[in-house]
Amino acid sequence: MDCERIEAALLAVVDGRAAKQERERVEGHVAACGACARRMEEMQGVWSDLDSLRAVEPSPSFDARLRARMAEQPARPRFFEWMTGNMRLVAVVAALVAVAVWISLRPTIQRPAPSSAQAQQDFAVVKNLPVLENYDVVANFDVLSDLPGAEDTSTQPQSLE
């Protein structure tokens, strides 16, 4: 039997609340264990000191004075009474809670993570940014056809040389 379990049962044995089987188990351990025996003696000493104290009787007017002091104290409101005067506050809190619940229950959009090939391609685009700044000029040749002296090359036959 370990001392921790016995120490928990010592007080019940000292004050007489322990069952016969538990008391015999504790007394058997205390007879073999010096530390638990000292602990039990200490508890018995404190218990006997408490028994030797005289009981204090309250004065005859104690009850009347206590009731008068209790009557002087302001009554505590019931739990939901604070809401009757603060209906705006209750409405605001309820709206905030509703918005929080609505936001937490919305489905989230799962965007796939870019692959490493896509990331490298994006980096290459950023790396060549000076070239891409003029992309719209290079991609749109209509401006060149509007220049004076520009000939329409699509209608002319091409030589096979």
Global pTM? 0.36
pLDDT digits (tens, 9 = 90+) for 5-15: 888 888 888 88
Q: What is the mean pLDDT of residues 60-77?
A: 85
Neighbours of 26 (CB within 10 A): 23
Task: Calculate the CA 145 to chain-centre distance.
Answer: 69
Neighbours of 12 (CB within 10 A): 14
Judge whether residue 161 has pLDDT over 60.
no
- Return d(Cα 92, Cα 150) in angstroms, integer: 72
- Return d(Cα 76, Cα 81) in angstroms, integer: 10
Cα-based distances in Å from 31 to 15, 35, 126, 137, 147: 18, 10, 86, 103, 118
Q: Are 23 and 11 in contact (CB under 8 A)?
A: no
